[in-house]
Chains A and B, each alone.
Chain A
Amino acid sequence: MSTALAEPMEVTPEANRLADAFALVRRSKLALLGGVITLLFFGVGTVGAAIVLVPSLQHLYLDQNLIDTLKPPLTGGHLLGTDNLGRDLAWRVAAGTGISLLVGVAVTALSVVVGMTLGAVSGYFRGAIDWLISGLIDLTWGFPLLLLAVIVVGILQPGLTSVIVAVAVVNWAGFARIIRAETMSLREREFVEAARALGVPHWRIILRHVIPNTVGSTLIMSSYYVAYTVIAEAGLSFIGMGAQAPTPSLGVMIFSGRDYLYVDAWMAIVPGVAIALIVLGLNTLGDSLRDVFDPRLRRF
């Protein structure tokens, strides 16, 4: 046995698939649109996150002017107009997008780590542990986020932290489910058997061989789940259980804007369109990626 083969390597087909994906995106107009919108989301979101997190920049979305309230777009130096306290709507939407991005990424990262770990462990080891974890998965992954979130918020107090906890508690199961299925099929492959025969420890197999092969599915799911999280955060903030004013969460802005629909509909419409665009972009991207990688992941 050649020492060069200390650990059997399998050429991941994923790399080829990735190239296919980019080719597809370039060709399909819808996929391209989805990609562009997602990029825009990340761009604006990063700027927004910056102005939310950096204290000296916060004035951009906090400065108020009690005389110039509820102005329509393109008046007085405000690209999208002002809200009921004279604050610049464009900066507020940017900040809101930033918050959505932060929450979306934070929750998804959390869910991926937990979901991947549990899913891989469950699919790899089978037996009692699998029984337990897949039972948990079955029950959690379909649980309506909103209901759970309302209860969690009731216990923890409204706020972005509660939203993150609530969404993560449900989201991990979606990842775990897919990872588990993939792990179960992967573990039957020859290279894994060979590695076992060589005495490679379990954790190494999982980490270096199983997980990298699930990247594609994870990417697709992440795209959907970030969109899902953005809606969930906005929805919860809308009914008063998420971010609180004056935090410029997009959901909070739509909620405040409701009262002014007659005098200045922009206040509610701009953040709403922003959310819709973000979600559509992410969903479309996810759909195209899925069409390339794995039609089995068809999500309803």
Chain B
Amino acid sequence: MRNFVLRRLTFSIFLVFLSSIVVFFGMRAAPGDVTTQLVNPANSYSAYLVPNLKHILGLDKPLLSQYFSFMGNTLRGHPGISLINGDPISRIIGSAGLETLKLGGAAFILTLVTAIPLGILAARRHNSLLDQGTTFVAVLGMGIPNFFLAVLLISLFSIHLRWLPAAGSSGIRFLILPAFVLSAEAIAITLRLVRSSVLEQLSRDYVRSLRARGLPEWRVVGVHAFRNALPPVFALIGTLARNLLAYTMIVEVIFRWPGLGYQLVQSILERYYTLAQVLALMLTVLVIFFNLLADLGQQFADPRVREGGRG
């Protein structure tokens, strides 16, 4: 176990640096740069403006020196300003991060609040209509791509029924559709896991003895069985978090939710170098962290999946 964690840590640090280099030099290698967003090309073809701008933004220094100053600044917590609009990047990340946290948090809570009770109920009423229904819905949830689900929901709730707004982020109402779309797959997975885990617990002896002792059913299932069914679910949290992180990008773009994912897509497409670099770094670190969590969780829950043997 310790060997595993140590190895992961070493590789992680290595990967973070590798990705910073790849992103930095890769984006510079790609054609075009951010000056096209700052200077209207059709209005000022005079060759002065662009090189002047490049000089002000420090884009004409040798690449290696730019890389080192970027890394130095970022590691010290001052990544600089956005090239496109002068907004300090820490401010952008702060506000975008908050938005993503809101969305991700809502999705997470929604997942727990929906999947766990439903899973327990389905296990309790094994093979009933409810059970089969929820299983079916769960299968759907895992199969329908989330962007298509978003389109369907927008079409129904926003365009035809006019109950919910189609995009934007100015209030709780705006959070409902994106959070649901984001959590759809997570709900499906968690539901199935809770159900099978509780089901397994319910077939154990201690449940029978608890019932024989006259404990009310809801306590037997909802408290004791559920508590024992939790470990695999805990193990899932890392995986869920990691998946949520990835899906936020699509959901944020669809619903125009100004979070980190939205910023990442924008900054890469439009070559806002500094912002893209910082975001890519941040997200790499986050992903690695969640991955580690997920793998530790897996090992904790299921020793059979542990990497083959020691040494």
Interface, chain A (partner B; CB < 8 A): 123, 131, 134-136, 138-139, 142-147, 150-151, 153-157, 180-181, 184-185, 231, 234-235, 238-241, 251, 254, 257-258, 261-262, 265, 268-269, 272, 275-276, 279-280, 283-284, 296, 300
Please tell me if B110 contacts chain A, counting CB pairs below 8 Å. no
Q: Is the CB of A153 within 8 A of B268?
A: yes
Looking across the interface, which residue of chain A has its beta carbon closest to that of B262?
Answer: A239
Q: Which residues of B contact A279 (CB under 8 A)?
A: 143-145
Contacts of B268 in A (CB 8 A): 150-151, 153-154
Given the known A-B contacts A146-B249, A155-B30, A157-B30, are A135 and B145 also in contact in the complex, defined by CB atoms under 8 Å?
Answer: no
Q: Is the CB of A254 within 8 A of B147?
A: yes
**A276/B148 in contact, CB under 8 A:** yes
Closest chain-A Cβ to B281's Cβ sits at a distance in Å of 11
Binding site for A on B (CB under 8 A): 7-8, 10-12, 15, 19, 22-23, 26-27, 29-30, 139-140, 142-148, 151-152, 154-155, 159-160, 189, 193, 236, 239, 242-243, 245-247, 249-250, 253, 264-265, 268-269, 276, 280, 283-284, 287-288, 290-291, 294-295, 304-305, 307-309
Residue with the highest number of chain A CB atoms closer than 10 Å, among B143, B160, B242, B291: B143
In the complex, the answer to whether A239 meets B265 with C-beta atoms within 8 Å is yes
Q: Assess the A235–B250 pair: CB atoms within 8 A.
A: yes
- The smallest beta-carbon distance between B195 and chain A, in angstroms, is 13
Given contacts A139-B15, A146-B247, A258-B151, contact A154 B291 (CB under 8 A): no
Smallest beta-carbon distance B257→chain A, Å:
13
B253 near A239: Cβ-Cβ < 8 Å: yes
- Kindly list chain A residues whose C-beta atoms are within 8 Å of the C-beta of B139: 280, 283-284
Cα–Cα, bound, A29→B301 (Å): 32
- Please name all residues of chain B whose beta carbon is closer than 8 Å to the beta carbon of A241 when the two chains form the complex: 265, 269
User: B151 touching A143 by the CB < 8 A rule?
Assistant: no
Query: Across the interface, do B8 and A138 meet the contact criterion of CB distance under 8 Å?
Result: yes
* B308 lies within 8 A of A146 (CB): no
Could you list 22 A-B pairs, sorted by A, with CB under 8 Å?
Answer: A138-B291, A142-B242, A144-B243, A144-B245, A146-B247, A147-B245, A147-B287, A151-B22, A154-B30, A154-B268, A157-B30, A184-B309, A234-B145, A258-B151, A262-B159, A269-B152, A272-B145, A275-B145, A276-B144, A280-B143, A283-B139, A300-B239
Known: A147-B284, A238-B147. 18 other contacts (CB 8 A): A135-B10, A138-B7, A139-B288, A139-B291, A142-B287, A150-B264, A155-B30, A181-B307, A184-B309, A234-B147, A235-B250, A241-B269, A251-B147, A258-B151, A261-B155, A268-B151, A272-B152, A275-B145
B80 to chain A, nearest CB (A): 19
Closest to B26 in A: A155
Flag if A150 contacts B295 (CB, 8 Å).
no
